[in-house]
Amino acid sequence: LLPAYRRRGLGTSILRALLVEACAANRCVGLHVERRNPAANLYRKLGFVPVTDDGVYCQMRWQPSAGDAVAAVPMQEGEPAAA
């Protein structure tokens, strides 16, 4: 997200919607993030786990499960509801 749109819950809402769809399709989701990127904390809260780490970038993966983290992470105040 562009800096002007960060820390408003938009990224969380977008990721939640994606993970709900991935769960329904029984699909995994992967991403790469710089190790020092604050978004990595969001990914961890949503259930992504590190797969590889080359010192600069970390590859993370989320996979659906019966008790997946999408429902477990409470929505934040002001966070737009996922469609």
Which region holds residue 59: left if phi is over 0, alpha if psi is between -120 and 50, else beta?
beta
| pLDDT confidence tier of residue 43, bands split at 50, 70 and 90 | very high
Position 72 pLDDT exceeds 50: no
pLDDT score for 13? 94
* Phi, psi at 27, each rounded to 5°: -115, 150
Express as a percent the part of the chain with pLDDT over 90.
71
Position 23 pLDDT exceeds 50: yes
Count of other CB atoms within 10 angstroms of residue 11: 17
pLDDT score for 42? 94
Position 73 pLDDT exceeds 60: no
Position 69 pLDDT exceeds 60: no
> In the chain, which residue ranges form alpha helices assigned H by DSSP?
10-24, 39-45, 69-72
